[in-house]
Structure 1
């Protein structure tokens, strides 16, 4: 029995099929972004938890929504030409972020394959979030709950004591903390290499 054997999924109504070894498949979700901490979390998940024979790996990216000049309900034909130009610029920026997300997910998918994950057991997904860390955390938690994940592996941004304290004073929470409070499965936070506390 290994240290991570406690990560076995419980029997559920959406029962996962046993693998050849008789073990139930696990679904490991790794939220990713453009940071090295995110790549480190992916590497950690693959080398410490992921079992190629039975497990699935979901790479999740949260796309921050670009603040628009007007409420989403406004249709472009309902606004004057100057406002129409602002709406077009907003849409262009949103599409740019979506393209960056697609490139990121493709990169992380190739990294996972290079680390030994079978291409057929990887799924990539993107969600749109609004707000700061709590919006990203809410989107991660929603995905984890909907997918019935067995484990979440997140990278730590490596904030030190005073930065974390200021973040908490201002009402901002870290994505990992927000996620831990709102999902039923274990959450592993892979510490940043330079983090000392």
Structure 2
């Protein structure tokens, strides 16, 4: 999830469109907000990538991850689970020397472990069905950034369930950010031109 701005309402940008404050100032964030953030992700590779990047984002700003996303994709074999699961000590050394990504050993090892867990989860229906089974029955309707939750009962439950399946770096806050990014909840502020754009939730 992109870093949260101060407790503010939606912002009218210079192109006349209304957006959540975090998407108003940076061109790359604006493009991401307008085209990707909050849209449903229902393919395994895509969801594994989002899961990995949200894990790397923990403790950092989302724009840092977004600027490095192409490098992450190159370094992690486009986040194909089978490829990442085969990474060995030489790959870890390679990744730790790659200035294009976040060189955090624990997060790198977690991504490799989570790739193996993703493959194992196929025996139970797969990562996509597993994660989407925690979609809540309703979504927040925030008027300001301060009204956007950082966790939910569902993100706490999902975090626990994923840990039980062998995943790591999947805390409740990270899982809520994943839910926001992949359309499981809609936390576009009321008035934003993107609210309701996912087709999962109504506009209001």
TM range (shorter): under 0.3
Q: Could you state the TM-score of these two structures normalised by the residue count of structure 2?
A: 0.23
Q: Which has the larger radius of gyration?
A: 1
- Comparing both structures, which one devotes a greater share of its residues to strand? 1
Q: Could you state the TM-score of these two structures normalised by the residue count of structure 1?
A: 0.23
